[in-house]
Amino acid sequence: MRNALLQWSRENPRSLPWKKDKNPYQIWVSEIILQQTRVEQGLPYYHRFMERYPTVETLAATSEDELMKIWEGLGYYRRAQHMLHSARIIVEQYNGEFPSNYEDILRLKGVGDYTAAAVASFAFDLPQVVVDGNVIRVVSRLFAIQDPVDTRATSQRIYDLANQLLDRNDPSFFNQAIMDFGALQCRPANPDCISCPLNFSCTSFQKGIVNLVPLKGKKKAKKIRYFYYIVPTLGNKLYVRKRDKADIWSGLFEFYLIETNNETSWSTVLKKIDLPIISSEGWTGRYKQTLSHQIIHAEFLPVELKDDRLIVERDDYTPIKRKKIRNFAFPKVIDCFLRDKAVILNL
Ligand code: SF4
Protein backbone atom coordinates (compact mmCIF):
# COMPACT_ATOMS: atom_id res chain seq x y z
CA MET A 1 0.00 0.00 0.00
CA ARG A 2 2.75 2.41 0.99
CA ASN A 3 4.70 1.90 -2.23
CA ALA A 4 1.57 2.24 -4.36
CA LEU A 5 0.68 5.50 -2.59
CA LEU A 6 4.17 6.94 -3.04
CA GLN A 7 4.21 5.93 -6.69
CA TRP A 8 0.79 7.53 -7.22
CA SER A 9 2.12 10.76 -5.68
CA ARG A 10 5.18 10.81 -7.97
CA GLU A 11 2.86 10.48 -10.94
CA ASN A 12 0.37 13.10 -9.62
CA PRO A 13 2.44 15.96 -8.18
CA ARG A 14 0.35 18.74 -6.69
CA SER A 15 1.78 22.23 -6.82
CA LEU A 16 1.03 24.30 -3.72
CA PRO A 17 3.04 27.43 -2.82
CA TRP A 18 4.00 26.35 0.70
CA LYS A 19 5.39 23.07 -0.65
CA LYS A 20 8.21 24.84 -2.49
CA ASP A 21 10.59 24.90 0.47
CA LYS A 22 10.59 23.74 4.05
CA ASN A 23 9.86 27.07 5.68
CA PRO A 24 8.06 26.21 8.97
CA TYR A 25 6.40 29.64 9.19
CA GLN A 26 4.85 29.31 5.73
CA ILE A 27 3.77 25.73 6.44
CA TRP A 28 2.22 26.72 9.77
CA VAL A 29 0.32 29.61 8.17
CA SER A 30 -0.94 27.41 5.33
CA GLU A 31 -2.06 24.68 7.72
CA ILE A 32 -3.96 27.11 9.95
CA ILE A 33 -5.64 28.75 6.94
CA LEU A 34 -6.60 25.37 5.52
CA GLN A 35 -8.26 24.14 8.73
CA GLN A 36 -11.96 23.85 7.85
CA THR A 37 -11.22 25.56 4.52
CA ARG A 38 -10.87 24.18 0.98
CA VAL A 39 -7.53 24.74 -0.78
CA GLU A 40 -9.16 26.80 -3.56
CA GLN A 41 -10.80 29.09 -1.00
CA GLY A 42 -7.70 29.33 1.19
CA LEU A 43 -5.11 30.05 -1.52
CA PRO A 44 -5.94 33.75 -2.11
CA TYR A 45 -5.90 34.30 1.64
CA TYR A 46 -2.51 32.59 1.90
CA HIS A 47 -1.02 34.85 -0.78
CA ARG A 48 -2.49 37.98 0.78
CA PHE A 49 -1.29 36.90 4.22
CA MET A 50 2.26 36.23 3.01
CA GLU A 51 2.40 39.51 1.16
CA ARG A 52 1.47 41.42 4.32
CA TYR A 53 3.27 39.16 6.85
CA PRO A 54 6.25 37.55 5.11
CA THR A 55 7.94 36.62 8.40
CA VAL A 56 6.88 35.66 11.89
CA GLU A 57 8.27 39.00 13.13
CA THR A 58 5.97 40.98 10.83
CA LEU A 59 3.01 38.93 12.04
CA ALA A 60 3.96 39.37 15.69
CA ALA A 61 4.15 43.16 15.23
CA THR A 62 0.69 43.58 13.70
CA SER A 63 -2.49 44.60 15.53
CA GLU A 64 -5.40 42.21 16.02
CA ASP A 65 -7.71 44.57 14.08
CA GLU A 66 -5.42 44.62 11.06
CA LEU A 67 -5.02 40.84 11.12
CA MET A 68 -8.79 40.42 11.32
CA LYS A 69 -9.19 42.57 8.21
CA ILE A 70 -6.80 40.25 6.32
CA TRP A 71 -8.73 37.24 7.66
CA GLU A 72 -12.17 38.74 6.95
CA GLY A 73 -14.44 36.26 5.18
CA LEU A 74 -12.36 33.17 6.02
CA GLY A 75 -14.34 32.34 9.17
CA TYR A 76 -13.20 30.68 12.43
CA TYR A 77 -11.66 33.97 13.49
CA ARG A 78 -10.18 32.52 16.65
CA ARG A 79 -7.58 30.88 14.39
CA ALA A 80 -6.17 34.30 13.55
CA GLN A 81 -6.17 35.44 17.17
CA HIS A 82 -4.31 32.27 18.22
CA MET A 83 -1.79 32.76 15.40
CA LEU A 84 -1.03 36.26 16.55
CA HIS A 85 -0.53 35.04 20.11
CA SER A 86 1.77 32.22 18.93
CA ALA A 87 3.76 34.51 16.62
CA ARG A 88 4.51 36.76 19.60
CA ILE A 89 5.60 33.72 21.67
CA ILE A 90 7.90 32.60 18.84
CA VAL A 91 9.50 36.04 18.64
CA GLU A 92 9.80 36.56 22.39
CA GLN A 93 10.64 33.06 23.64
CA TYR A 94 12.27 31.42 20.61
CA ASN A 95 14.07 34.46 19.24
CA GLY A 96 12.03 34.32 16.05
CA GLU A 97 13.10 30.72 15.30
CA PHE A 98 10.13 28.41 14.79
CA PRO A 99 10.25 25.57 17.38
CA SER A 100 11.60 22.45 15.73
CA ASN A 101 10.30 19.60 17.86
CA TYR A 102 6.80 18.19 17.94
CA GLU A 103 6.07 18.89 21.62
CA ASP A 104 7.09 22.57 21.40
CA ILE A 105 5.08 23.06 18.21
CA LEU A 106 2.07 21.44 19.87
CA ARG A 107 2.36 23.91 22.76
CA LEU A 108 1.66 26.87 20.46
CA LYS A 109 -1.84 28.28 20.83
CA GLY A 110 -4.29 27.03 18.20
CA VAL A 111 -2.04 24.13 17.21
CA GLY A 112 -3.53 20.66 17.66
CA ASP A 113 -2.17 17.20 16.86
CA TYR A 114 -2.82 17.60 13.15
CA THR A 115 -1.10 20.96 12.66
CA ALA A 116 1.83 20.03 14.92
CA ALA A 117 2.39 16.83 12.92
CA ALA A 118 2.12 18.71 9.63
CA VAL A 119 4.71 21.34 10.60
CA ALA A 120 6.98 18.74 12.25
CA SER A 121 7.00 16.47 9.20
CA PHE A 122 6.81 18.98 6.33
CA ALA A 123 9.32 21.47 7.76
CA PHE A 124 11.58 19.30 9.90
CA ASP A 125 11.15 15.78 8.44
CA LEU A 126 10.12 14.37 11.80
CA PRO A 127 8.33 11.00 11.67
CA GLN A 128 4.89 12.28 12.66
CA VAL A 129 1.88 11.01 10.76
CA VAL A 130 -0.60 13.67 9.67
CA VAL A 131 -4.25 12.66 10.00
CA ASP A 132 -6.71 15.05 8.39
CA GLY A 133 -10.13 14.39 6.84
CA ASN A 134 -8.55 13.05 3.66
CA VAL A 135 -6.36 10.59 5.56
CA ILE A 136 -9.30 9.45 7.71
CA ARG A 137 -11.28 8.69 4.55
CA VAL A 138 -8.42 6.89 2.78
CA VAL A 139 -7.48 4.75 5.77
CA SER A 140 -11.04 3.87 6.70
CA ARG A 141 -11.75 2.83 3.12
CA LEU A 142 -8.52 0.86 2.69
CA PHE A 143 -9.24 -1.08 5.88
CA ALA A 144 -13.07 -1.04 5.59
CA ILE A 145 -13.59 0.59 8.97
CA GLN A 146 -17.35 0.72 9.36
CA ASP A 147 -17.57 2.26 12.84
CA PRO A 148 -18.37 6.00 13.16
CA VAL A 149 -15.07 7.80 12.64
CA ASP A 150 -15.85 10.57 15.09
CA THR A 151 -15.47 8.38 18.18
CA ARG A 152 -12.26 8.38 20.19
CA ALA A 153 -11.66 4.62 19.75
CA THR A 154 -12.06 4.71 15.96
CA SER A 155 -9.93 7.86 15.66
CA GLN A 156 -7.17 6.10 17.58
CA ARG A 157 -7.49 3.00 15.36
CA ILE A 158 -7.23 5.13 12.21
CA TYR A 159 -4.24 7.01 13.64
CA ASP A 160 -2.48 3.71 14.47
CA LEU A 161 -3.08 2.32 10.96
CA ALA A 162 -1.90 5.56 9.30
CA ASN A 163 1.14 5.53 11.57
CA GLN A 164 1.98 1.97 10.46
CA LEU A 165 1.72 3.07 6.84
CA LEU A 166 3.96 6.14 7.38
CA ASP A 167 7.22 6.05 5.45
CA ARG A 168 9.75 6.89 8.17
CA ASN A 169 12.47 7.52 5.58
CA ASP A 170 10.51 10.41 4.09
CA PRO A 171 7.54 11.30 6.33
CA SER A 172 7.00 14.62 4.59
CA PHE A 173 6.56 13.07 1.17
CA PHE A 174 4.36 10.28 2.53
CA ASN A 175 2.07 12.66 4.43
CA GLN A 176 1.62 14.88 1.41
CA ALA A 177 1.05 11.82 -0.77
CA ILE A 178 -1.77 10.35 1.31
CA MET A 179 -3.48 13.73 1.75
CA ASP A 180 -3.29 14.48 -1.98
CA PHE A 181 -4.48 10.96 -2.73
CA GLY A 182 -7.57 11.57 -0.56
CA ALA A 183 -8.23 14.95 -2.17
CA LEU A 184 -7.79 13.88 -5.79
CA GLN A 185 -8.32 10.11 -6.12
CA CYS A 186 -10.15 8.76 -3.08
CA ARG A 187 -12.54 11.72 -3.08
CA PRO A 188 -15.49 11.97 -0.66
CA ALA A 189 -17.99 11.54 -3.52
CA ASN A 190 -17.24 9.56 -6.68
CA PRO A 191 -13.80 8.20 -5.79
CA ASP A 192 -11.96 7.01 -8.87
CA CYS A 193 -11.75 3.36 -7.79
CA ILE A 194 -11.44 1.82 -11.25
CA SER A 195 -8.16 3.55 -12.03
CA CYS A 196 -6.95 3.45 -8.41
CA PRO A 197 -3.57 1.76 -7.97
CA LEU A 198 -4.62 0.60 -4.50
CA ASN A 199 -7.87 -1.07 -5.49
CA PHE A 200 -6.24 -4.51 -5.30
CA SER A 201 -5.68 -4.05 -1.56
CA CYS A 202 -8.60 -1.76 -0.69
CA THR A 203 -10.99 -3.81 1.44
CA SER A 204 -13.92 -1.43 0.92
CA PHE A 205 -13.53 -1.71 -2.86
CA GLN A 206 -13.23 -5.48 -2.67
CA LYS A 207 -16.36 -5.70 -0.51
CA GLY A 208 -18.29 -3.15 -2.62
CA ILE A 209 -18.90 -0.81 0.35
CA VAL A 210 -16.87 2.25 -0.71
CA ASN A 211 -19.92 4.53 -0.56
CA LEU A 212 -20.66 3.45 3.02
CA VAL A 213 -17.23 4.40 4.35
CA PRO A 214 -16.30 6.48 6.27
CA LEU A 215 -19.32 6.42 8.55
CA LYS A 216 -20.03 9.62 10.42
CA GLY A 217 -22.11 10.01 13.59
CA LYS A 218 -25.43 11.83 13.37
CA LYS A 219 -25.03 15.57 12.84
CA LYS A 220 -26.58 17.85 15.42
CA ALA A 221 -29.24 20.22 14.10
CA LYS A 222 -27.87 23.72 13.56
CA LYS A 223 -28.90 26.41 16.01
CA ILE A 224 -30.87 29.21 14.33
CA ARG A 225 -30.24 32.76 15.52
CA TYR A 226 -31.94 36.01 14.52
CA PHE A 227 -29.76 39.12 14.54
CA TYR A 228 -31.44 42.51 14.19
CA TYR A 229 -28.83 45.15 13.49
CA ILE A 230 -29.66 48.77 14.04
CA VAL A 231 -27.15 50.76 11.98
CA PRO A 232 -26.76 54.00 13.96
CA THR A 233 -25.65 57.07 12.03
CA LEU A 234 -25.00 60.65 13.10
CA GLY A 235 -23.76 63.05 10.43
CA ASN A 236 -20.87 61.39 8.67
CA LYS A 237 -20.39 58.74 11.35
CA LEU A 238 -21.52 55.14 11.91
CA TYR A 239 -21.24 53.35 15.24
CA VAL A 240 -19.61 49.94 15.68
CA ARG A 241 -18.46 47.70 18.50
CA LYS A 242 -16.05 44.77 18.64
CA ARG A 243 -17.73 41.44 19.32
CA ASP A 244 -17.25 39.63 22.58
CA LYS A 245 -14.70 36.85 22.83
CA ALA A 246 -17.19 34.27 24.15
CA ASP A 247 -19.29 33.97 20.98
CA ILE A 248 -18.96 33.56 17.22
CA TRP A 249 -17.12 36.27 15.25
CA SER A 250 -14.99 37.21 18.23
CA GLY A 251 -12.76 40.17 17.37
CA LEU A 252 -14.90 41.30 14.42
CA PHE A 253 -16.94 44.51 14.45
CA GLU A 254 -20.71 44.89 14.27
CA PHE A 255 -23.50 47.42 14.57
CA TYR A 256 -26.02 47.74 17.41
CA LEU A 257 -27.32 44.21 17.89
CA ILE A 258 -30.59 42.91 19.25
CA GLU A 259 -30.75 39.12 19.12
CA THR A 260 -34.03 37.22 19.35
CA ASN A 261 -34.90 33.51 19.52
CA ASN A 262 -37.57 33.83 16.83
CA GLU A 263 -38.21 35.94 13.79
CA THR A 264 -39.81 39.19 14.86
CA SER A 265 -40.80 42.62 13.55
CA TRP A 266 -38.76 45.81 13.61
CA SER A 267 -41.40 47.54 15.72
CA THR A 268 -40.88 44.86 18.41
CA VAL A 269 -37.12 45.23 18.12
CA LEU A 270 -37.24 49.00 18.43
CA LYS A 271 -39.30 48.71 21.64
CA LYS A 272 -36.33 46.92 23.23
CA ILE A 273 -33.96 49.86 22.85
CA ASP A 274 -33.85 53.37 24.21
CA LEU A 275 -31.56 55.16 21.77
CA PRO A 276 -32.50 58.73 20.73
CA ILE A 277 -33.56 57.80 17.18
CA ILE A 278 -34.93 60.72 15.19
CA SER A 279 -35.51 58.91 11.92
CA SER A 280 -35.07 55.59 10.22
CA GLU A 281 -34.20 55.05 6.59
CA GLY A 282 -37.27 52.83 6.26
CA TRP A 283 -35.51 50.13 4.32
CA THR A 284 -33.82 47.03 5.62
CA GLY A 285 -31.55 44.38 4.31
CA ARG A 286 -32.06 40.68 5.06
CA TYR A 287 -29.12 38.26 4.88
CA LYS A 288 -28.35 34.69 5.88
CA GLN A 289 -25.05 33.09 6.85
CA THR A 290 -24.57 29.39 7.51
CA LEU A 291 -21.81 28.43 9.92
CA SER A 292 -20.72 24.95 10.95
CA HIS A 293 -23.13 24.77 13.92
CA GLN A 294 -25.37 27.78 13.46
CA ILE A 295 -27.51 29.59 10.93
CA ILE A 296 -27.63 33.36 11.28
CA HIS A 297 -30.52 35.39 9.87
CA ALA A 298 -29.57 39.04 9.96
CA GLU A 299 -31.60 42.15 9.21
CA PHE A 300 -30.40 45.74 9.14
CA LEU A 301 -32.14 49.01 9.84
CA PRO A 302 -30.18 52.24 9.37
CA VAL A 303 -31.30 54.97 11.79
CA GLU A 304 -30.27 58.54 12.48
CA LEU A 305 -29.47 59.49 16.07
CA LYS A 306 -30.19 62.79 17.77
CA ASP A 307 -26.98 62.49 19.78
CA ASP A 308 -24.46 59.75 20.56
CA ARG A 309 -24.06 60.10 24.31
CA LEU A 310 -25.86 56.84 25.23
CA ILE A 311 -24.46 54.72 22.46
CA VAL A 312 -20.88 55.82 23.14
CA GLU A 313 -20.76 56.24 26.91
CA ARG A 314 -23.23 53.61 28.06
CA ASP A 315 -23.09 51.03 25.27
CA ASP A 316 -19.43 51.44 24.37
CA TYR A 317 -19.85 51.83 20.61
CA THR A 318 -17.19 53.73 18.66
CA PRO A 319 -17.95 56.43 16.06
CA ILE A 320 -16.29 55.73 12.70
CA LYS A 321 -16.30 58.03 9.68
CA ARG A 322 -18.42 56.56 6.88
CA LYS A 323 -15.51 56.56 4.44
CA LYS A 324 -13.34 54.63 6.91
CA ILE A 325 -15.83 51.91 7.80
CA ARG A 326 -14.42 49.44 5.23
CA ASN A 327 -11.08 49.47 7.05
CA PHE A 328 -12.69 47.37 9.79
CA ALA A 329 -13.28 43.61 9.69
CA PHE A 330 -16.92 42.53 9.78
CA PRO A 331 -18.73 39.17 9.68
CA LYS A 332 -19.83 38.12 6.21
CA VAL A 333 -23.49 39.14 6.66
CA ILE A 334 -22.49 42.67 7.61
CA ASP A 335 -19.88 42.84 4.86
CA CYS A 336 -22.56 41.86 2.30
CA PHE A 337 -24.93 44.50 3.69
CA LEU A 338 -22.22 47.19 3.49
CA ARG A 339 -21.33 46.23 -0.07
CA ASP A 340 -24.98 46.30 -1.15
CA LYS A 341 -25.75 49.62 0.52
CA ALA A 342 -22.40 51.37 0.06
CA VAL A 343 -23.83 54.09 -2.17
CA ILE A 344 -26.97 54.75 -0.11
CA LEU A 345 -24.95 54.84 3.11
CA ASN A 346 -22.36 57.10 1.45
CA LEU A 347 -19.46 54.82 2.41
S1 SF4 B 1 -10.17 1.75 -4.45
FE2 SF4 B 1 -11.49 3.50 -4.27
S3 SF4 B 1 -11.98 3.60 -2.10
FE4 SF4 B 1 -10.23 2.25 -2.31
S5 SF4 B 1 -8.48 3.58 -1.99
FE6 SF4 B 1 -8.85 3.51 -4.17
S7 SF4 B 1 -10.16 5.26 -4.60
FE8 SF4 B 1 -10.22 4.90 -2.39
Give CA–CA dist 150/178, Å, rounded.
20
Q: How many domains does the chain have?
A: 2
The answer to the question of residue 218 being in a domain is no
The answer to the question of residue 272 being in a domain is yes
Query: Looking at the structure, do residues 227 and 163 belong to the same domain, yes or no?
Result: no
Give the dihedral of Cα atoms 302, 306, 310, 311; nearest 10 deg. Answer: 30
Query: Looking at the structure, do residues 280 and 193 belong to the same domain, yes or no?
Result: no
Residue that finishes a domain, picked among 153, 183, 212: 212
| Residue 228, C-beta contacts closer than 8 angstroms, at least 6 positions apart | 257, 258, 259, 260, 264, 266, 269, 298, 299, 301
Query: Looking at the structure, do residues 182 and 287 belong to the same domain, yes or no?
Result: no
Cα-to-centroid distance, 185 and ligand 1 (Å) = 7
Identify the pLDDT of residue 220: 83
What DSSP designation does 246 have? T
Contact of 233 with 303, CB cutoff 8 Å: yes
Atom 8 (ligand 1) nearest CA: 186
The answer to the question of residue 345 being in a domain is no
Query: Looking at the structure, do residues 183 and 265 belong to the same domain, yes or no?
Result: no
What predicted TM-score, i.e. pTM, was given to this entire model? 0.86
Query: Looking at the structure, do residues 172 and 199 belong to the same domain, yes or no?
Result: yes
Q: Indicate if 31 belongs to the active site.
A: yes
CB-based pocket (< 6 A), ligand 1: 141-142, 185-186, 191-193, 196, 198-199, 202, 204-205, 210
Query: Looking at the structure, do residues 169 and 271 belong to the same domain, yes or no?
Result: no
Query: Looking at the structure, do residues 306 and 188 belong to the same domain, yes or no?
Result: no
Query: Looking at the structure, do residues 178 and 244 belong to the same domain, yes or no?
Result: no
Query: Looking at the structure, do residues 199 and 244 belong to the same domain, yes or no?
Result: no
The answer to the question of residue 90 being in a domain is yes
Residue that finishes a domain, picked among 193, 212, 231: 212
pLDDT in tens, 238-293: 999 999 878 999 999 999 999 999 999 999 999 999 999 999 877 777 899 999 89
Query: Looking at the structure, do residues 197 and 255 belong to the same domain, yes or no?
Result: no
Cα-to-centroid distance, 298 and ligand 1 (Å) = 43
Question: What phi and psi values does residue 144 have, to the nearest 5 degrees?
Answer: 50, 50
Cα-to-centroid distance, 186 and ligand 1 (Å) = 5
Q: What is the CATH number of the domain that holds 243?
A: 3.90.79.10
Residue to mutate, 179, 194, 198, ligand 1, most ligand atoms under 8 Å from C-beta: 198
The distance from CA 178 to its chain's CA centroid, rounded to whole angstroms, is 22
Q: What are the DSSP E strand ranges found in 98-236?
A: 223-234
The answer to the question of residue 126 being in a domain is yes
> What range does the domain containing 317 cover?
223-340
Query: Looking at the structure, do residues 180 and 290 belong to the same domain, yes or no?
Result: no
The answer to the question of residue 107 being in a domain is yes
The answer to the question of residue 31 being in a domain is yes
Element (H, E) at 288: strand 285-290
Element (H, E) at 161: helix 152-165
Identify the pLDDT of residue 208: 96
Marked catalytic residue, from 31, 72, 254, 299? 31
Atom 2 (ligand 1) nearest CA: 193
CA angle in degrees (0–180, nearest 5) for 254-256-259: 95
Q: What is the CATH number of the domain that holds 155?
A: 1.10.340.30
Identify the pLDDT of residue 14: 84
229 forms beta bridges with: 257, 300
Give how far Cα 248 sits from Cα of 45, 294, 315, 330, Å.
20, 9, 20, 12
Residue that finishes a domain, picked among 192, 212, 232: 212
Query: Looking at the structure, do residues 232 and 200 belong to the same domain, yes or no?
Result: no
Give how far Cα 232 sits from Cα of 94, 282, 303, 342, Å.
46, 13, 5, 15
The answer to the question of residue 346 being in a domain is no
Mean pLDDT of successive 10-residue segments in the chain (347 residues)? 96 83 94 89 94 98 96 92 97 97 96 96 96 96 94 95 97 96 95 97 96 87 95 96 90 95 92 92 84 94 95 95 96 94 88
